[in-house]
Each structure stands twice: as structure tokens, then as C-alpha cells.
Amino acid sequence: MFESFLKQHDQAAWARAVGALLPDIHEVDRNATQIWFHFFPLALAQAIAELPDRAELERTLRLDGNYRLAEQSDTSHWFLYGHRSWPQVKPAIVARAQSGAAPASLDLPAVIRDIAKDAGGDLSLTLGIAAVGLMTLQQIGLAAFRADHGPAKAGHDVQTTPAQILAARRRNDSQGIAALWRGIRAQYTVTFDERRPDARFTVVNQQHLTTASALDTREHAPGPRNRMEGPIPVECRTASCGTCWVGVLGGSERLSDVERMEAKQMKEFGYINTTEPKPLIRLSCAALASGNVSIVIPPWNGFIGQRAGFRA
């Protein structure tokens, strides 16, 4: 009954539910929750179900990387502060799903709130991860959801507070009077994994994120996607391939406005369909930085725009 209730909700219904909850989700996870729903859209899960042959699916949608949520259901949300509450949220969802009873309310936001309350702790810090967990259950089913996928990827250090994370996202590198006097072009920091002090690279003022990333010559693990030039995967640098998309956790206001080509291509890829000038999903090769930015890199790329209903 519980899974049947979830399956009645399409992507638009989920977007409305998350939107209704956003004011009550702690600021530290407000962007992160929305980003997760763009990283793992319902349209992608539906494509996986309709095309069970993996090779055909990847060829048809030009998918690259780890796009299967069932293979990372315990780790896909590592960039949410609420990830640390997953050991409480997951059993709360399983208990509801296994009860065989219909939800007490047929209102999706209310059901998400009930799960967050069942998990205990600060409701503002469990609402986001509860929504993520329920969407994960809808996409992969109870059997896969219950499975143990090995040690969960560590989230933010337990000693780090939401206030400290938010302060770090708001911080902008000081250029110093000496640098200004010498006319040195301003340099800022891009963080691509907030858990690691070394997961940063320098971006020069008004430089594309991909260009700055490519100048980070340290060895980076290839991860699930093979095309790697610095920490951000990139292939074309002309907004044509979709490999360099990222979610912006903090500092979106320090990136250039989305121009027509970037907006068109993000819609084509199925990553986001918006008219906002500074959205939370960007193509790094089209985004110019003018200050510190905190991003998260998705584990896959491809073309799902048509299946997401973004194309005519």
C-alpha cells in the first residue's frame, strides 16, 4: 500500500512537495535537497525500467557513469548534511513500507514530515533526507532499498555544525591590498567536496569553472566517469556534451547568469528546465566565477531531456 501510494506521484508532484517543504528544511540542506532531485530524476528511473538492456539504454540516452540509483542508494546523498541521519531515516522508511498499511495522510509533504519525525532529531535536518529516501524507495522498490550496499560514504564530519558549513559557503577569499595594488587578477576557491580540505582548486576572476578545474594538475581518481581533466569531467567545453554539469551548494550568486545556449542545452540534456538566471544546476564550461563557489559533481551524464518532458 505504501509503495503504491508513492507511485501515484510523478515528477511534477514531487517538485511541488519538495517546494512546499523547502521553507522548513534547514538552510544547510535546502540547495542540496533540490540538487539531489535533479541528479536522480524520476524520468531516469523510468527509462531504466523501460530499457532493461543496459547497453541499449546507455547507447540510446548516451549515458555515462553510475546512473543507477539502486547501486548507490545508501551513498547518493552524501553531500546532504542530513546524510548523517540516514541510519535513522532508512529504517523509518522500511518500517512504514513493510507495515502494509496505507499512509495516514494522502498528502505527500505530510508523509515526508511523518518519516522525518519517526527518524528523530532536528526536524529541519531530517526533512530533506526523508524526502530523498522516499523518492529513492519509489524509484528502486523495497527489496533494493532494504539491501545493504556496503559501508555508507561518509558525510560531513560529525563535529562540523550547519552554521560552520554555511559560513564556509558564504566566505569569499580576501585579495589583500598588496595584490590589488600590484594589479593581480583576483583569485577565488572552488570547493568540489565539502568533506575534504584538499578538494579545492583556484579560479581566476571571470574564468570558466572547467578551465580552472583543468589547471588543477593533481591526480584525481577517475570515478564513475572516464573523461577527466581535473576534478570536473569535461569533454567538449562548448556546452554540447553535458559531461561538466554540477550542482551549486553555495555561491550561485557568484557565477555568471545563464545565457541562452547553456539554458537550451541543460533542457536538452534533461538536467534542469528553468528561466532562473542563477540556478542550482550549471554547465561548468558556461559558468564564469567571480568569487568562491561550492559545487557537487554528479556521478553520471547523458541525454534524458525528451523522457523528462523537457522537449517538444
Instruction: State which H helix or E strand residue 188 sits in.
Output: strand 187-191
Q: Which of 307, 312, 297 is nearest to 242 (CA)?
A: 297
What is the per-residue pLDDT for 222? 63
Secondary structure of residue 39 in the 3-state scheme: helix
Q: What secondary structure does DSSP assign to 47-86, as a single string?
A: HHHH---HHHHHHHHT-EE---GGGSTTTTTTTSGGGGGH
| Mean pLDDT per 10-residue segment, the chain (312 residues) | 91 96 98 98 94 94 95 96 96 92 86 96 98 98 86 66 96 76 79 95 96 90 68 88 96 97 95 96 97 97 82 46
CA neighbor of 42 nearest in space, from 270, 282, 279: 270
pLDDT of residue 310: 60
Domain 162-301 CATH class label = alpha beta
User: Among candidates 35, 34, 1, which has minimal Cα distance to 20?
Assistant: 34
Distance set, CA 8 to CA 14, 76, 107, 109, 130 (Å): 10, 23, 11, 14, 18
pLDDT given at position 312: 41
Cell numbers placing 139? 524509484
pTM listed for this prediction: 0.94
Kindly list the domain boundaries of the chain, sorted by start residue: 2-146, 162-301
